[in-house]
Amino acid sequence: MPSVSVIVPVYKVEPYLRQCVDSILAQTFSDFELILVDDGSPDNCGAICDEYAEKDARIHVIHQQNGGLSAARNAGIDVAKGKFLTFVDSDDIVKTKYLESLYDMIESYDAEIACCGMCDFVDNVAPAVDCYNDKKEHTYRGPDAALEQYAERSVVRVSACGKLYSADLYKNVRFPEGMLHEDQATTPIVLFNASRVVAFDTPLYCYRLREQSIMHSRFSAKRYDDIVAVDKCICYFKNKDAEELVKAAVCRKNELMAVYSLLARKDGVYSEVPKEYRISEHRALKWLRKNLSDDKYTYQLAKVHPNWLRPHAYWRKIKKILHIPCK
C-alpha cells in the first residue's frame, strides 16, 4: 500500500507530459503510486501514459472519455490507494523534494494537509533550480487555513495543487464536473474540515504559464464559474455558522465580480455576463479602489485601463506628499 497517491489528469498536453511525469518519477520520496488519468486526449498522450506504465510498476493508467479536469481528478480519487493524495496538472512540474518535504511536514506537525509554495515558469524556460533553504512554516486550524487562503498575500493558495492531503478529507468531497475553477469550490471546504494545516513558502510546485490557457486568453463568460464556485462555499460556510469565513468568501466574490465585469467590457462580451453578476464599471472600480491594496488595484487597472495609470500614479504621488497613506 503506497503512502501517497499522485493524481495527474491528462488531456492535450503531449509537448509537456513527459517533463511532468519525469519530475514525479525523480522524487527523493519513492513510496508513491502515480495515477495518470487519460481524459480522452485526442493526441498521443494516452500512448505516452501506457509507455511509462510499462516501465514503472508504480504507475497506473486510466483511460476514459473526456469529462474535463474535475472528472479526471475524481476518477483518480476513486481508485487511489494512498493514505495521502496530491494533485499535479500534466503541464506542470514538481521539484525533486516536493513529496518528501510535504510528507515530512505532515509527519512533523501531525497535520492533515501540507502546503508548499508555488512558482510560475513559461514555455521553453526552465524554472529556477531546487532551493530548500529558509523554509518558513505556518500552522493553522482547518477553519483558520480556509480563512487564510482568502487573504491577499497568503502561503495557503486556493489551488488544489501544491498540497498533500489526508485521503480521508476526500471521502465525501469531489470536484464539481462541468465547471471551470473547480478548485475554488473545493479547496476552502477541504481546508475547513482539516484538523491541522501546515504551510511553508518554499516553491516546490512549478506552474506552467501557457498563452492558450483559460487564464491567458480572451475573456469568456464561462469564467463566471469562478463566482458560482465561491457561492457554493458561501452556502457551505453559512450552514456551518462560520460567519468570518462567509464574510471573507463574500469579499472574494465581490472582487471577482468587479474584475470580471471590467474584463468582460474590455473584450466586448459583457452581454454574455449572467444578469445576477452584472455591475457598472463605476461601481466595479470603486469597489476595487476601496477594498484592494494600492498595488493590487494598480495591477487590475493596468489590465483594463492602462491609459489611466499615469494619472493614478500622479495621484499616488500627491497623497505621498500630503502624507495620505496608500492602502
Domains of the chain: which residue ranges? 4-215, 218-321
Compute the CA torsion angle 273, 278, 282, 287 (nearest 10 deg).
-110
- Predicted pLDDT of residue 293: 79
Q: How far apart are CA 155 and CA 147, in angstroms?
A: 12
Q: How far apart are CA 97 and CA 27, in angstroms?
A: 6
Classify the phi-psi angles of 136: left when phi > 0, otherwise alpha if psi is within -120 to 50, otherwise beta. Answer: beta
E-strand stretches of the chain: 4-10, 32-39, 59-64, 84-87, 93-94, 113-122, 137-141, 163-166, 196-209
Place of cell 529558509: 134
For the beta carbon of residue 171, count every other beta carbon within 10 angstroms: 9
- Predicted pLDDT of residue 214: 47
- Predicted pLDDT of residue 305: 63
Three cell numbers, residue 37 = 488519468
Place of cell 453559512: 238
Q: How far apart are CA 114 and CA 111, in angstroms?
A: 7
| Domain made up of 4-215: CATH architecture | Alpha-Beta Complex (3.90)
Q: How far apart are CA 130 and CA 114, in angstroms?
A: 19
Q: Is 133 exposed, middle or buried (0-12, 13-18, 19+ CB in 10 A)?
A: exposed
pLDDT tens, position by position, 53-97: 999 999 999 999 999 999 999 999 999 999 999 999 999 999 999
Place of cell 518528501: 100
pTM greater than the 0.75 cutoff:
yes
Encode 118-179 in three state secondary structure. EEEEECCCCCCCCCCCCCCEEEEEHHHHHHHCCCCCCCCCCCCCCEEEEHHHHCCCCCCCCC
Q: Label the pairing between strands 93-94 and 196-209.
A: antiparallel
- Predicted pLDDT of residue 215: 47
Mean pLDDT of residues grouped by 10 in the chain (327 residues)? 97 96 97 98 97 97 96 98 98 97 97 95 65 73 96 88 98 91 94 97 90 59 88 96 96 91 83 85 84 76 64 57 59
